[in-house]
Chain A
Amino acid sequence: MTTTGKTRQGGALALTAGRLVAAAATALAVAGGLVLTSVMLVTCASVIGRAFFNSPILGDFELVEAGCAIAVFAFLPYCQLKGGHITVDIVSDALGSRKRRVLAMLNEAVFAAVAGLLAWRAMLGGIDLWRYGETSMMLQIPIWWMFLVVVPALALLCVVCLLRLYLVKTGEHL
């Protein structure tokens, strides 16, 4: 097989991997959305229970906090995948296409590093919570359970940044 053939094959492999990453980020976001919808339903049930039957759901605040936190982290990779984070593009729009690409790659690299750092720290934080067996007040939910979503979501965010870096570099699309 020729060299070009090999690179093309490598490129195709990278694109397939990229599509898998994109599918994972989308699935995670929708799953997070379903968690948020559950939070909404639980809260409504609790308010109705409190207002009409004098029996709110025990620990509903904790479910809301945990559910929303899970949803927020689950949303992060998808938002980056879609380029949804706020940037100011006046300077970059004024640059030539080559410089603009370099700038975009730098920004993706920085974001990947920051996301990686956050994932690493969250993992250590989660391990601490697991070791000390910290739980929520009312429902005794172990806090570290939440980190089973938080850490992979941050790691996926890092991968999505790298994927976008690759796409900018090669000029390819998923």
Chain B
Amino acid sequence: MSGVTLALVLFGALLALIALAMPIGVAMLLVGGFGYIMLSGVGPLLHHLSSAPYAQAATYSLSVIPLFILMGQFATHAGLSAGLFNAANAWLGHRRGGIAMSAIGACAGFGAICGSSMATAATMAHVSLPEMRRFKYSGALASGVLAAGGTLGILIPPSVILVIYALLTEQSIGKLFIAAVVPGMLAAVGYMLAVAVYVRLYPEAGPAGPRAPFASRLRSLLEMGPVIGIFALVIGGIYAGWFTPTEGAAIGAAGTGILAVLHGGLRWGGFVECLKGTAKLTAMIFLILIGADLYNSFLALSQLPMTAARVIGDSGLPPMAVLAIILLFYLVMGCLMDSLSMILLTVPIFHPVIVGLDFGMSAEEVSLWFGILVLIVVEVGLITPPLGMNVFVINSFAPDIPITQAFRGVVPFLAADAVRVVLLVAFPSLTLGVLAWMGSLP
């Protein structure tokens, strides 16, 4: 059996094990280990295992991940969610559907210091769900808007997924973060427009709230100061090269931690909860990273990525068609798999394929652009059935809203996602414009 055939067969086996509820990281270790034995033998595998997992965890560029997770944990304890929501609500709450739009705005703000979608959805649901219920918003709109808004946690940098993409493709984390800013803002605006269209069609779904006086609107902006400050320092500092991404994450975590102590009333008990939350998320991600490392070592031995790039490059398909097929593949897979595993399993194959095609841009530009597109399409899986984790998170806060209704409420936001992906594919300058303007693309 050739390496390529073996890789394809084992990919099927991997999917089967995952479908049988084996933890994804363990399935990757098992299948990757088996493939490694088939191609190199038992001895080399045992030798590999005696150092590789530690080396993976002790990689400086991966250290950014636990620190960003710690930052996100502090952010959920910093008492910022209420302030962000009230600020957005002061400006938008008097419109029809305004409270839902405010939830989107607050999610966007929270996403700027938190890199996790589920944490963003959960934190914002805590403050804005009761408000939407008070004003008799429909259950579908209330849960749909929060599930979709939660994805802003990962679309707006810092974002763990982008860090992993950067490491897999040897791109600069700073540039990817900057490239993600405009698409992230487009996402927030698109979701707000989706709310506006929805309440125009179904006015009873989102009645208007009271109008806030202008003075309290201005005062509300003060609440956003610390969030904007930390975001600008971390993302700007990483991009400008004042510090490495890991150092940026450490500074962001420390800043958010101070905020949590001073503003959120964080004490020892809450701090331990932050550490436990960090432990759970970090271990979850690193088990997958360690598994994917072995699986991808096997994949490289099998030469599947190079073969795939060559076959598709020679096939004569137009580059845009290849891109469309890949993005559709991610959309379908995203309904069944989590985004991190998907990125780790497929980017080593798809990235060389895409960069090898001629989009009329430099390889670096294509790589950054593709990264942002992939980030968006894999996150769509967080709000689609059957595994839309964000929808389940919101559902746990409002168990009386039936889950089918919650998934129906997500539809307008899926439409907004689709429009945004088409726009970003058609106009790469939406992603790359800021970087070009800053003069950091050759």
Contact = CB atoms under 8 A, between A and B. Distances in A.
A61 B20 contact: no
Contacts of B243: 47
Contact of B22 (A34, A107, A146): A107
A103 B30 CA distance: 16
27 contacts: A32-B275, A33-B70, A33-B276, A36-B67, A41-B254, A43-B246, A46-B247, A47-B250, A65-B58, A68-B62, A71-B66, A72-B283, A76-B286, A79-B282, A79-B287, A84-B281, A84-B284, A85-B24, A86-B24, A86-B25, A88-B21, A90-B19, A92-B20, A103-B20, A103-B21, A110-B26, A125-B50
A33 B54 contact: no
Contacts of A32: 275, 279
Interface string A63-87: 0111011011111101110101111
Given A36-B278, A76-B283, 18 more contacts: A30-B276, A61-B60, A64-B60, A65-B58, A68-B63, A74-B279, A75-B279, A75-B280, A76-B287, A79-B283, A86-B25, A88-B24, A90-B336, A110-B30, A122-B53, A124-B50, A125-B51, A146-B54
Nearest to A44: B254
B341 A29 contact: no
Given A51-B242, A64-B60, A121-B50, A78 B280 contact: yes
Interface string B53-75: 11001111011001100100000
B54 A125 contact: yes
Interface residues of A, number: 57
A47 B287 CA distance: 30
Interface string A22-37: 0000100110111011
> Which 4 pairs, one residue from A and one from B, show the smallest C-beta to C-beta distance?
A33-B275, A125-B50, A79-B283, A43-B250
Interface in B16-44: 18-26, 29-30
B260 interface: no
B246 A64 contact: yes
A40 B287 CA distance: 22
Q: Contact residue range for chain B?
A: 35 or more
B26 A78 contact: no
Nearest to B46: A121
B265 interface: no
A6 to B, nearest CB: 34
A26 B276 CA distance: 8
A32 to B, nearest CB: 6
B67 A39 contact: yes
A87 B54 contact: no
Interface string A111-155: 100100110011011001000000000000000001100100000
Contacts of B70: 33, 36-37, 40
Interface residues of B, dominant DSSP: helix
B282 A89 contact: no
A15 interface: no
Contacts of B418: none
A111 to B, nearest CB: 5
Given A47-B247, A84-B284, A34 B21 contact: no
Contact of A91 (B19, B24, B26, B338): B19
Contacts of B286: 72, 75-76
Interface string A43-62: 11011000100000000010
A30 B272 CA distance: 7
B394 interface: no
Contacts of B87: none
A64 B59 CA distance: 9
Contacts of B279: 29-30, 32-33, 74-75, 78-79
A104 interface: yes
B326 interface: no
Contacts of A33: 70, 272, 274-276, 278-279
